[in-house]
Amino acid sequence: MQRDKSDPLSVVTRAPDTDYERIFHPKRVAIAGVSPGGGSGFGTLSLLSLQAMGFEGEIFPVNPKGGEITGLKIYRRVEDIPGKLDLVVVVVAAEESAAVLEAGRRKGAAGGIIITSGFSETATPEGVAREEEIRQIAAKGIRVIGPNCFGIYCPRSGLTFIPNPDLSRESGPVAFLSQSGGMASDYTSMGMWMGLRFSKVVSFGNGADLRESELLWYLGDDTETGVISMYVEGIRDGDEFLKALKSAARKKAVVILKGGLSTAGSRAVVSHTASLGGSRVIWESLLRQAGAVQVRDIQEMAQTCLAFAMLPGRVYRGLSVAGGGGALGIVACDTAEVYGLEVPLLQGSVRDQVASYLPKSGASAVNPIDVANPYTPPEILEKIFRVAAQDNRIDLQVLMLLPHHYKTFAGTRRGWRTFPHEELADRLKSVIRETRKPVVLVMTNTKRGLPDLDVVEVHAKARQTFLAKGIPVFDEIGDALRAIANVNRYYGKGETA
Amino acid sequence: MQRDKSDPLSVVTRAPDTDYERIFHPKRVAIAGVSPGGGSGFGTLSLLSLQAMGFEGEIFPVNPKGGEITGLKIYRRVEDIPGKLDLVVVVVAAEESAAVLEAGRRKGAAGGIIITSGFSETATPEGVAREEEIRQIAAKGIRVIGPNCFGIYCPRSGLTFIPNPDLSRESGPVAFLSQSGGMASDYTSMGMWMGLRFSKVVSFGNGADLRESELLWYLGDDTETGVISMYVEGIRDGDEFLKALKSAARKKAVVILKGGLSTAGSRAVVSHTASLGGSRVIWESLLRQAGAVQVRDIQEMAQTCLAFAMLPGRVYRGLSVAGGGGALGIVACDTAEVYGLEVPLLQGSVRDQVASYLPKSGASAVNPIDVANPYTPPEILEKIFRVAAQDNRIDLQVLMLLPHHYKTFAGTRRGWRTFPHEELADRLKSVIRETRKPVVLVMTNTKRGLPDLDVVEVHAKARQTFLAKGIPVFDEIGDALRAIANVNRYYGKGETA
């Protein structure tokens, strides 16, 4: 914990007194609490998740009954495992957790993940005492994540204890710290289809030992992490958190969802993770001062991180907004203004050139650009975007697509399933490369019922195509504009106080 | 146009000087502008839509070339159609539209729908002159919808010109008036899967004759309509609109999406439907004074109308919020507070009883109610909701479901596709009936990618099941709470000024 104590606000990089490398990329992991018969207990699920992810290290399942599980020998005690451990995962009963953690520490583990609940979050004297015991073992030299958590998801090492068996092995720039395990599970699931790729996800639950501030110091310096997202309910040490947050936010965007801002929410925080809440106004002010980007729900957090991850880091003030439909563009402009974004009037030769690619009737080149029909060929869209980018007040271009309209013409000459997403992705990618101005897609699906699962499928495919070409996709124009505005809040802020 | 002129603010019911019955439920309809060879022109599409909807009246296609289309004789001129017409639909070129409309008028049509564009929205002298000509014909005794529109969708009569061939024949309480055809198309598509059922939808485009104010007077008195939604860009006569809006809003909720509130949006309005925009502040004040509920986008409009259509008309201040996950409930409470909703602390015997149904560890009965896992059986949820309703501070109950979690346990004893939505719907329905307090569902799908289309399908099925039992479903907690808050804005307002 080396920091420049003489100047508490100076940006100081924390020396790694914790062996994060062995915690996030362990070679030898014990899982205590698997069921010999399989079953769906969290111990077994953790093991299955690890195997489904293709974790390459050695796994040592533990259960006093011994036996075998998915081809692995079950050790009766952690002590019986041969050699040194890097990580011990504790999924036994709450009252047995301390002993297992201590055994792991004696086996040389750099970290312990206690998934089990039944600690301070119960607000019982026994629960609080158990957590204190965990803390004392941690102080002897093992860093603890949990209890009452899902631990770590680290795509690069294949380490995961989040009970989503289908998470990606693909790494990316987004880190996530969460006091809530459910949030970590939902957020990583959303990331899969939205295109968020993670560096490290840590669900730390009650945070008996390692928690928000220390993990922030770590991620601030983590070269794999480009943007940090966090779900926090309460923090242990406000001053320390503020320092860690300021330091991290100077290096990369930190997007924070603070739970428990309301009377009822704050009350619930106490029983959820035994943290203290705090008033909405205090938190908003604190987070703003620290240079963090506060968001209101998991959707905004995910959308904002997508924008941070996929857009070059800068302020985007002026937008071109194009779509096939007048009202679409008008409502987009209205929403843009709410978020402090501009949709500048195109003028002169840029406007004339854009107009030359549009139909004579029903279209508009002023910006918003109304291409007048939802079937505008990719070739035309490419031309329009290349020209509009010449206006130096345009920093970013938004294209609103309504691919479900293609289904309307099933059986007619336009055909269905003909939404040319691959061609469009290629053309937009070349526009982005040449103009050096990003394009953001909004693909709203107004057909989502049982007769339209084919539309859902085309949407999902198209989304993958666009994401693969580096083009972020949002469901609704409001989501996209809010995410862009959040990027602006970060890059547009003055010196942090 | 009989109104009490001595008191412009008195609630006056307009006498029907327009034969709306023949316009919305016509028996004999001419469609001028079909293509003899089929094709995908709007004339042919309109005919196909009418036939796909099972419109029971007689249809007379018109094209100077004559011939046949989908088994119907094509008349060369409107004048050649035998007998009287109720409605003439004009999909010919702009310059020929007036003549066709006039022919329809001479055939006794009560209404004409001009789908064709190329009128005042072009801002050309010819376009403006053409529209004036339409207005002069209308003044001779035919009410005109359009030009530059999709006309009418009326499920009860099977009349539709919105190019969505799959709209429902099921009527419902939601009316929609739209200056934008695209918005009418998207909104009715969304209604299909969201559970919005429509009384009458009118896309009136440029509104040369019939438009926002007169249609509001009509829908205010329409017994089939329980809630009116509108997309307006500009209005012709502010005083008249305010009177019509006030009158309608005293009888039923009016939900308004006003497009063109921003500088850029207002500029675009001019080229879209040739209407004048207006400043954000003026509009917000005007709409509030008139007792209307202003919304920000099509999603909020649809969600708000769903709440108005499915919830008994009253204010819902206190909510119980239940879900399987602590953070879920905490963020829900935080969002509720933003929308002026309360999540009261459950106390005494209600709280004890709720607690008795919950797991001992990880759950919470204080409200938000954390049922601690996403697989809580419907039987338990039923008991919890029945008990929580006994607290007289609870006006409405929210249940947050995460059905995708069932897939996590595919292959384990919990199995996949076992989300018991039918049992849950039945049990919740009986709770609602007995407690007389509505239940609102939030069903967030965090798995929407290509490998999870089965999850999308289960969601779509479950949504249908819940809607069929009278339980509204929203995708996200914020959507649900905002819609409830909008219901409160309407029923909680004092006397309108």
In tens, the pLDDT along B414-455 reads: 455 578 999 999 999 999 999 999 999 999 999 999 999 999
Question: How many angstroms away from the CA of A457 is the closest CA of chain B?
Answer: 7
- Is the peptide bond between A312 and the residue preceding it cis, with omega within 30 degrees of 0? no
Residue A413's pLDDT is 45
Residues 6+ apart with CB under 8 A from A193: A460, A463, B447, B448, B449, B450, B452
CA A296, A297, A303: angle at the middle one, nearest 5?
100
Chain A contact for B320 (CB, 8 A cutoff): no
Per-residue pLDDT tens digits for A351-364:
999 999 998 877 88
**Cβ atoms B96, B134 nearer than 8 A:** no
Does the pLDDT value for residue B28 go beyond 90? yes
Distance from CA of A311 to the nearest CA of B (A): 22
Place of tokens 């312990």: A112
Q: Are A413 and A351 in contact (CB under 8 A)?
A: no
Q: Residues A409-439: pLDDT tens digits?
A: 554 444 555 789 999 999 999 999 999 999 9
- Dist. CA B269–CA A330, nearest whole Å: 7
Q: How far is A430 from chain B (nearest CA, A)?
A: 26
Element housing A284 (H / E): helix A280-289
- Is the previous residue joined to A374 through a cis bond, with omega within 30 degrees of 0? no
SS3 string, B370-431, reads ECCCCCCCHHHHHHHHHHHCCCCCCCEEEEEECCCHHHHCCCCCCCCCCCCHHHHHHHHHHH
User: For residue B282, what are its two tokens?
Assistant: 């003026």
Question: Between chains, do B268 and A186 touch, taking CB under 8 Å as contact?
Answer: no
| Residues A119, A121: Cα–Cα separation, whole Å | 5
Q: How far is A82 from chain B (nearest CA, A)?
A: 31
- What's chain A's average pLDDT? 91
- Answer whether 0.90 is exceeded by the pTM: yes
3-state SS assignment for residue B257: strand
Measured CA angle at A128 (ends A122, A129), to 5 deg: 140
Q: Nearest to residue A190, comparing CAs of A182, B409, B269, B158?
A: A182
For residue A185, which residues of chain B lie inside 8 Å, CB to CB? 405
Torsion-angle region of B30 (φ positive above 0: left; ψ -120 to 50: alpha; else: beta): beta
What is the four-CA torsion angle of B217, B218, B221, B226, rounded to 10 degrees? Answer: -100
Tell if the CB–CB gap between B334 and A448 is shorter than 8 Å.
no
- Decide if B481 contacts B308 (C-beta within 8 A): no
Q: Do B335 and A297 touch (CB under 8 A)?
A: yes
pLDDT of residue A10: 43
B327 with A192: Cβ contact below 8 A: no
- CA B332, B337, B339, B340 torsion: positive or negative? positive
Q: How many CB atoms lie within 10 A of CB A466?
A: 25
pLDDT band at A273 (very low <50, low <70, confident <90, very high): low
> Cα–Cα distance between A457 and A464 in angstroms, integer?
11
Domains of chain A, CATH where assigned: 313-491 (3.40.50.261)
**Among B residues 157-216, those touching chain A with beta carbons less than 8 Å apart:** 163-166, 178-180, 182-183, 185-187, 189-190, 192-193
3-state class (DSSP) for residue A20: helix
**A41 in contact with B at a CB cutoff of 8 Å?**
no
Distance of CA A325 to the CA centre of its chain: 32
- State how far the alpha carbon of B137 is from the alpha carbons of B21, B134, B385, in Å: 21, 5, 60
* CA atoms of A86 and A111, how far apart (whole Å): 7
Q: Does B420 touch chain A (CB under 8 A)?
A: no
- Chosen from A45, A189, A266, A401 to mutate, greatest number of chain B CBs within 10 A: A189
* Shortest CA gap B248–chain A (Å): 24
Rounded CA separation A244/A211 (Å): 12
Higher-pLDDT residue of B179 and A45 is B179
Asked if B342 is an interface residue toward chain A (Cβ–Cβ < 8 A), one would say yes
Residue A455: closest C-alpha in chain B: B453
Verify whether the Cβ–Cβ distance A450 to B444 is below 8 Å: no
Instruction: Report the range of poorest mean pLDDT among A398-407, B6-15, B221-230, B383-392.
Output: B6-15
Whether chain B has a CB inside 8 Å of the CB on A478: the answer is: yes
C-alpha distance from B16 to closest chain A C-alpha (Å):
31
Structure tokens at B403: 């059905």
Put simply, whether A118 touches B (Cβ < 8 Å) is: yes
